Structure 1
Amino acid sequence: MVYVYMVRCKNNALYTGWTTDLERRIIEHNNGTGSKYTRANRPVELVYFEEIDDKFAATKREYAIKQLNKAEKELLVSSFKLQTSCE
């Protein structure tokens, strides 16, 4: 399983990435060993993720999310919070 995810950074920016181990990747971001961007904007909080079957599809989805503007990304995050709070 591959995950596409968004984290909210200290500066309120949304960083998008993909990984095969979501828990490990969030720890890396918060330890400063994740991406260069999140290293400078720690701590981060996981606010959105999708499970995807393969790496190729995950990279395509990551790219699609990165093309969204901030308001569209915030809609994804808020809909994700609604889904997870209703379960």
Structure 2
Amino acid sequence: MKGWMYILLCSDGSYYTGSTNDLHRRIMQHQTGQGANHTKKRLPVELVYYEEYDRIDLAFYREKQIQGWNRKKKEALINGTPELLPPLAIAYKDLTDER
């Protein structure tokens, strides 16, 4: 069964990352307040990025990976600049090491 990992831009400027086996239906659920708690409080939402997978478990795995990313990494992915991901990961690690 196919799956999708997606990123939504919420009305407050935050990002929500999810996965589903029916992208159109899931986006409609988010838009009508039937999605995740995060998006219910931040309507409307806009689909800004998605990836399609042959299996839903791969989409879920990718969702969990991206949920751990900082905002700059998510924006590099959304903006189609994946070459920025490694430097952003290193910069983020350096910042967390200082805490």
Into which bin does the TM-score normalised by the smaller protein fall? 0.7 to 0.9
If the length of structure 2 is used for normalisation, what is the TM-score? Answer: 0.77
CA contact (8 A) 2:7 2:50 kept: yes
What amino acid maps onto 1:21 in structure 2? D
Give unmatched runs, 5+ long, in structure 1.
81-87
What amino acid maps onto 1:56 in structure 2? D
If the length of structure 1 is used for normalisation, what is the TM-score? Answer: 0.87
Report how far residue 56 of structure 1 moved: 1.7
Report how far residue 58 of structure 1 moved: 1.3
Q: Which runs of 4+ in 1 moved over 4 A?
A: none
What amino acid maps onto 1:16 in structure 2? T
Q: Which residue of 2 aligns with 1:70?
A: 71
Give unmatched runs, 5+ long, in structure 2.
82-99
1:44-83 to structure 2, matched below 5 A, reads 44-79=45-80
User: What is the percent sequence identity of the aligned residues?
Assistant: 40
CA-based RMSD of the aligned residues comes to 1.1
Output the CA distance in 2 between the equivalents of 1:77 and 1:32: 24
Report how far residue 17 of structure 1 moved: 0.2
Report how far residue 31 of structure 1 moved: 0.2
Output the CA distance in 2 between the equivalents of 1:49 and 1:55: 13
Output the CA distance in 1 between the equivalents of 2:77 and 2:47: 13
Q: Which residue of 2 aligns with 1:23?
A: 24
Greater C-alpha Rg: 2
Aligned residues: 80
What amino acid maps onto 2:80 in structure 1? S
What amino acid maps onto 1:27 in structure 2? M
